[in-house]
Amino acid sequence: MNIDRSRTHAPRPDKTDGLGSLVADAARALAAVSAAPRLDAELLLAHAAGVSRSRIVAFPERDPPAGVEARFRAVLARRLDGEPLAYIRGRKDFHAISLRVTPDVLIPRPETECLVDEALAIGDSRPDCSVLDLGTGSGAIALAIKRARPSVSVTAVDASAGALAVASANARALGLDIRCLESDWFAGLGAERFDLVACNPPYVRSSDPCLDGDLRHEPRRALDGGGDGLDAIRVVLTEAPAHLAAGGALLIEHGHDQQTDVVALASGFGFRIVTARRDLSGLPRFVVLQVHEPRPQ
């Protein structure tokens, strides 16, 4: 029998051209839903393969191991449906720590790192201060503060038992000793007072189409701030004075177009505006407040 050996190693029609080809095809598809489609594609493939992204980038010519391509296409479909990369991978980096995230918690954003930086700067003058992370979600703020300032006492509260379970698991995984408490804002804290209260409350307006669009996979209760986006902020401003130690500070994150309204509200609730800050994009993002001390008679 005459065998044409030039054809014995021809690629099968269904055979991939390698990891690089998978990434390139996925990046083209992801361009419709992602601001960084190639990065997303590389991270998704690394997740599906159980390797680092650098392995994917360094060896684009390699064929995917058995089962990897099918897993990759499954997670790619989820991303194309708009599911955030952090939920698919189950992790999100924040302020030099890696956090487990699930749909029970809001995905930590880079702008909130600015609030942590401000909290750390305030805490530097009080190395043994007590800190409350109000509405902790994944524990991002509480754990970032505790990691950077181990001597600080940190309490993390959330009304969601699911969110609190994620925060507690993150604390254990990072080996950081914080107290996690289920509480609807300050309700479960009795008469406790804190030197510093940090809060990233829901502040998206209920009518914002993003809640049913780009943000639809994240917990609505962590995003929806009511008609003007300020319902939760009003609650915090109302209750915070009873839980701030003398000279204590309240840090509140808000929407980029809400700072004027938040400052006006805070003044009306008897707060002094220490500073109003912008995030790394230059957008107004949070305020630092203190309760007006009564004047001596």
Write out the chain's pLDDT in tens, 297 residues: 333 333 333 333 344 579 999 999 999 999 999 999 999 999 999 999 999 999 999 999 999 999 999 999 999 999 999 999 999 999 999 999 999 999 999 999 999 999 999 999 998 888 789 999 999 999 999 999 999 999 999 999 999 999 999 999 999 999 999 999 999 999 999 999 999 999 999 999 999 999 999 999 999 999 999 999 999 999 999 999 999 999 999 999 999 999 999 999 999 999 999 999 999 999 999 999 999 765 444
Q: Are domains 5-82 and 102-291 of this chain identical in fold?
A: no
Domain 102-291: which CATH number of 3.40.50.150, 3.20.20.10, 3.30.70.20, 3.40.190.10: 3.40.50.150
State the Cα–Cα distance between residues 229 and 207, nearest whole angstrom: 9
Domain ranges of the chain: 5-82, 102-291
5-82 belongs to CATH 3.40.1010.10:
no
- Write down the pTM of the prediction: 0.90
| Secondary structure (DSSP) of 171-216 | HHHHT---EEEE-STTGGGTT--EEEEEE----B-TT-GGGGTTTT
Q: Report the candidate in 144, 218, 217, 134 with the shortest Cα–Cα distance to residue 174.
A: 144
Place of tokens 């925060």: 167
Which phi and psi (to 5°) does residue 144 adopt? -65, -40
| Secondary structure (DSSP) of 138-171 | TTHHHHHHHHH-TTSEEEEEES-HHHHHHHHHHH
Torsional class of 234: left (φ above 0), alpha (ψ -120 to 50), beta (otherwise): alpha
Strand partners, 97: 94
